[in-house]
Amino acid sequence: MVRSRLRLYLELVRFEHTLFALPFAYVGLLLAASGRFDAGVWLWVTVAMVGARTAAMALNRLIDWKIDALNPRTANRHLPRGLVRPWETLALALAGFALLTWSAFHLNALTARLLPVAVVFLTGYSYTKRFTWTCHLWLGVTIGAAAAGGWIAQTGRFEPGAYALWAAVALWIAGFDILYATQDTEFDRKHGVHALPARFGLPAALAWARSLHAAAWLLLIITGRFAGAGPWYFAGVLLVGLVLIYEHRLVRPDDLSRVNQAFFEANVVISLGMFAFTLVDALTR
């Protein structure tokens, strides 16, 4: 019984999607560490990321429950089907925030002071689709903060590299969230959900996504320059560029059948690949 409920909770928050943000938190940590390794920092960054991601996703499912029930693509999710009750979802979100809080106070003074800001963004971005088509950028800024968080957890301060990495991840996330939203263009228009594809149409949305991803790629280069990264890091940036090109070849205005492949498979390669190359770079310098 306990195991089956745990599986439902993990499915509810799409726990595997932690692979998008967590590796970039490690990238921020590695770039800021300059070859130093602190197992305690790595542990608390991991706990903080799991807590933040769980809280944000549980709240998103709870806030969007009624919208999800109307959308044929999402009507099979746990809350619309009654597999998980609303109070369980809220409890899961509160548990995630508790983990985030616990971790922030174990890292340094700046992470503790930034905690209220993190909670506001993690809670608030789910509401942005109700009033602005820039909701994708809000999501990007929220998740991209994880990368800056890894940097700050290591150094205890903001630095230019942290800002550049935050911006890079924010634009990358926003770009692929736009791609993901193309699946719901007609539904969003009908039900008043604000999203860039619904507002501007599919061709314009895909152009926006390409532009954001190009800017994200350039910011990864700038991040490496700020951090004094070595050749392995920049090899990882090259990989990211190639995967982004591949990702955008998968999605066309007249063919959205491979959006999920572009969303999950390509972006996992980007996040894990960037982490792997940054780790090798740190170990060989």
- Residues of the chain above pLDDT 90, percent: 69
Rounded Cα distance between 117 and 56, Å, is 13
Pairwise pLDDT comparison (285 vs 31), residue with the higher score: 31
Instruction: Record the pTM.
Output: 0.93
Work out the mean pLDDT of the chain and round it to a whole number: 91
Q: How confident is the model at residue 15 (pLDDT cuts 50, 70, 90)?
A: confident
Contact 213, 167 (CB under 8 A): no
Q: What is the separation of C-alpha 98 from the centre of its chain, rounded to a whole number of angstroms?
A: 20
Q: On the CB side of 9, how many CA atoms lie within 13 Å of its CA?
A: 18
Q: Is 188 exposed, middle or buried (0-12, 13-18, 19+ CB in 10 A)?
A: buried
Q: At what angle do helices 231-250 and 202-227 cross, to 10 degrees?
A: 180
Q: What is the pLDDT of residues 197-244, one digit of tens each?
A: 999 999 999 999 999 999 999 999 999 999 999 999 999 999 999 999
Q: How confident is the model at residue 12 (pLDDT cuts 50, 70, 90)?
A: confident
Q: How confident is the model at residue 264 (pLDDT cuts 50, 70, 90)?
A: confident
Contact 100, 48 (CB under 8 A): yes
Query: In order of start, what are the domains of the chain with their CATH numbers?
Result: 2-284 (1.10.357.140)
Sorted by sequence, the CB contacts under 8 Å of residue 1 that are 6+ apart come out as none
Rounded Cα distance between 281 and 285, Å, is 6
Rounded Cα distance between 259 and 256, Å, is 5
- Which single residue is written with the structure tokens 């550049």? 164
* pLDDT computed for residue 222 by the predictor: 98
Closest by Cα among 174, 261, 262, 162 to 212 = 174
Task: Lowest mean pLDDT of 27-31, 149-153, 214-218, 250-254, name the range.
Answer: 250-254
The average pLDDT across 102-118 equals 93
